[in-house]
Amino acid sequence: MLIKIVCMLGYITIIALLGYKGWKETQQAKDYLVAGRAMHPFIMAFSYGATFISTSAIIGFGGAAGLFGFPLLWLTFLNIFVGIFLAMLFFGKRTRRLGLTLNSMTFPELLGRRYQSGFIQGFAGAIIFLFIPVYSAAVLIGISRIIEISLHIPYNLVLILVTLILTAYVITGGLKAVMYTDAFQGCIMFIMMLILLVSTYSILGGITPAHQALTDMAPLMPAKLQKGGMLGWTQGAAFGSPLWLVIYTTIVYGVGIGVLAQPQLAVRFMTVPSDKSLNRAVLYGGVFILFMTGTAFIVGALSNAVFYQYFEKIAIAVAKGDIDKIIPVYIERIMPAWFAALFLVAMFAAAMSTLSSQYHVGGTSLGRDLFEKGLRLSRQRSITLNRAGVFLTIIATLIWAWVLPASVIARATAFFFGLCAAAFLPAYACALYWKKTTKAGAVTSMVGGFFISMFWLLFIHEKEAAAIGLCKALTGQTTLVASAEAGSWIWLLQWVDPNVVALPVSFALIITVSLTTRGYSTDHLHHCWSNFVSAQQTREWRN
């Protein structure tokens, strides 16, 4: 216990010093919102990665891997290919250039100025502020649970203590403080996950024996999971079964594609000084994500074999049905005390890095995009308004953390990623690549994608519809398709993620409406594209 406390105090001291550094360097709105547009690629990459990967990935999705096994590694592939390679090279460079051209300092402001629409900026800001606290609460729950288990501190007290620490440096230091602390925290996370991966394979005798041991445990798969279609932890789920749909439409597709439209990640593209910085960041970010998510999913699945070897119980039984406790229990019961102490610091770092970024983007969406731009409050008080927005985001997150149920981390993360993809991705991608996109097309896509996603969540998708209960209250059924014949394609829609339907429809809306409505002036398009092409190409295009 003493070593854990010493490690935590040392960690908090360094965070305080980095937060102070960020505060001292924050003199104007540009510093608070986009870190002065001058961040080193290593800091940007590790801040991006540490924001992307948090306790929701390590604790929540690591726990989900305890249920579903190795198929979750497809999400690691998408995280690297889509979340790093495509995001930084194809979205990041144009986002940085467009943000510089339009002098945009938030994700909603980027969309609003590209489409010359105050509604788009306000609508995007409202979605982020209203729903990112749910995602933030999932991360806050994850770190609070592991501290509760490791230090035996009451859960509610942990929620408050973690919130107070984050409040101190996010409100005062802005994005500079967030990114400095993120990079430090990312280094801690990387080292600990590397040790965890090597240790787990060593316990089971190496890579091949470990995977074989897990394969041989297929008959031990709980009956409830077998009924849902699970064949084994290495075998995955039967194609088309309810759990196959959960794994591949909600977890792999929903989170893997949704990363492209995450506002807290997109804003980081605007913090570096050049495209060359983003090129360098790809390598740093790719290696980081590989070891973060890959380790979490492998260890989560293999924890079943380790627990069975030590206790003749699989991980699910140890966790007593709460998958968010699988990784924390594994660390406490299997790993040596010194590692448990350092891993606690790593998980605290994972949560702090993501939470600080979520608080910042939620707060600036309220302060910059709603207070300052929507309500037209004084620009002279820009930093004050954004700090007020951050404070309100933190309070909303704390409330959600108190009311959300157990085993919610992975679900809440997938929900927010999917919602952002449906509401933002088509408008965001077209803002960067399609000159013929119109204001009407962007508005229709964003509003349509949002409401289709929410309708599916409330009335079709079984997990959320059953928990929220609105469909039950209005129709008497858990979902609108619950009464369909079991096994039919209509009945299976209950396990299809909202984003599978909402995102294609959102793309169809922006294309169809843009082709049938009036576009933008040549001067506006030239201004937006002036940083994308050479001067000669611009003259040729205008003529």
- Consecutive 10-residue averages of pLDDT for the chain (543 residues): 74 78 75 77 85 77 92 93 91 92 91 94 92 85 77 85 80 75 85 94 96 95 92 94 92 88 88 88 90 93 93 72 81 86 80 80 84 62 77 90 71 83 96 96 97 94 85 92 88 90 96 96 91 55 47
- Complete DSSP assignment for 314-343: -HHHHHTT-GGGHHHHHHHHHS-HHHHHHH
Give the CA distances from residue 41 to residues 37, 38, 280, 377, in Å, rounded to whole numbers and listed in that order: 11, 9, 6, 34
User: If you ran DSSP here, which 8-state letter would residue 71 be given?
Assistant: G
User: If you ran DSSP here, which 8-state letter would residue 440 be given?
Assistant: H
Residues in the chain, how many? Answer: 543
State whether 361 and 458 are in the same domain.
no
State whether 435 and 367 are in the same domain.
no
Give the CA distances from residue 448 to residues 209, 464, 506, 510, 543, in Å, rounded to whole numbers and listed in that order: 50, 20, 6, 10, 36
Examine residue 415 and state whether it is found in any structural domain, yes or no.
Answer: no
| H or E element, residue 120 | helix 118-151
Cα angle, residue 225 at apex, residues 297 and 67 outer, rounded to 5°: 15
State whether 392 and 540 are in the same domain.
no
Examine residue 395 and state whether it is found in any structural domain, yes or no.
Answer: yes
Total-model pTM: 0.86
CATH number of the domain to which 288 belongs:
1.20.1730.10
- How far apart CA 305 and CA 105 sit, in angstroms, is 48
292, 120 in Cβ contact below 8 A? no
Examine residue 26 and state whether it is found in any structural domain, yes or no.
Answer: no
Give the CA distances from residue 453 to residues 121, 418, 456, in Å, rounded to whole numbers and listed in that order: 20, 8, 5
Q: At what angle do helices 535-542 and 522-529 cross, to 10 degrees?
A: 160
State whether 326 and 395 are in the same domain.
yes
460, 432 in Cβ contact below 8 A? no
State whether 47 and 156 are in the same domain.
yes
* Burial letters 369-406, b for 16+ CB under 10 A, else e: bbbbbbeeeeeeebbebbbbbbbbbbebbbebbeebee
State whether 53 and 92 are in the same domain.
yes
Examine residue 433 and state whether it is found in any structural domain, yes or no.
Answer: yes
Q: At what angle do helices 409-433 and 107-114 cross, to 10 degrees?
A: 30
* Domain housing 129: 1-19+42-240+269-401
Residue type, 438: T
Q: Which residues contact 104 (CB under 8 A, 6 or more apart)?
A: 98, 110, 112, 113, 270
Examine residue 254 and state whether it is found in any structural domain, yes or no.
Answer: no
Examine residue 25 and state whether it is found in any structural domain, yes or no.
Answer: no
- Complete DSSP assignment for 204-237: TTSHHHHHHHHHHTGGGS-HHHHHTTEEETTTEE
CB count, 10 Å around CB of 534? 8
Cα angle, residue 39 at apex, residues 38 and 44 outer, rounded to 5°: 150
Examine residue 539 and state whether it is found in any structural domain, yes or no.
Answer: yes
Give the CA distances from residue 335 to residues 77, 262, 306, 447, in Å, rounded to whole numbers and listed in that order: 27, 34, 11, 48
* Count of domains forming the chain: 2
Final residue before a domain boundary, out of 401, 418, 449: 401
393, 130 in Cβ contact below 8 A? no
63, 409 in Cβ contact below 8 A? yes
State whether 369 and 486 are in the same domain.
no
State whether 300 and 217 are in the same domain.
yes
Per-residue HEC secondary structure of 255-302 comes to HHHHHHHCHHHHHHHHHCCCHHHHHHHHHHHHHHHHHHHHHHHHHHHH
Final residue before a domain boundary, out of 401, 417, 443: 401
State whether 60 and 150 are in the same domain.
yes
CA torsion, points 34, 422, 123, 260, in degrees to nearest 10?
10
The 8 Å CB, 24+ separation contacts for 33-36 are: 33/105, 33/106, 33/174, 33/175, 33/267, 33/364, 33/368, 33/386, 34/99, 34/105, 34/175, 34/267, 34/270, 34/271, 35/174, 35/175, 35/176, 35/179, 35/271, 36/176, 36/271
* Burial letters 343-354, b for 16+ CB under 10 A, else e: bbbbbbbbbbbb
Ramachandran angles phi, psi of 230, nearest 5° = -70, 135
Q: Is 314 left (phi over 0), alpha (psi -120 to 50) or beta?
A: beta
State whether 194 and 297 are in the same domain.
yes
Would you state the pLDDT for residue 410? 66
State whether 385 and 463 are in the same domain.
no
Ramachandran angles phi, psi of 231, nearest 5° = -100, -30
Examine residue 309 and state whether it is found in any structural domain, yes or no.
Answer: yes
State whether 344 and 463 are in the same domain.
no
Q: Both tokens of residue 145?
A: 């649970």
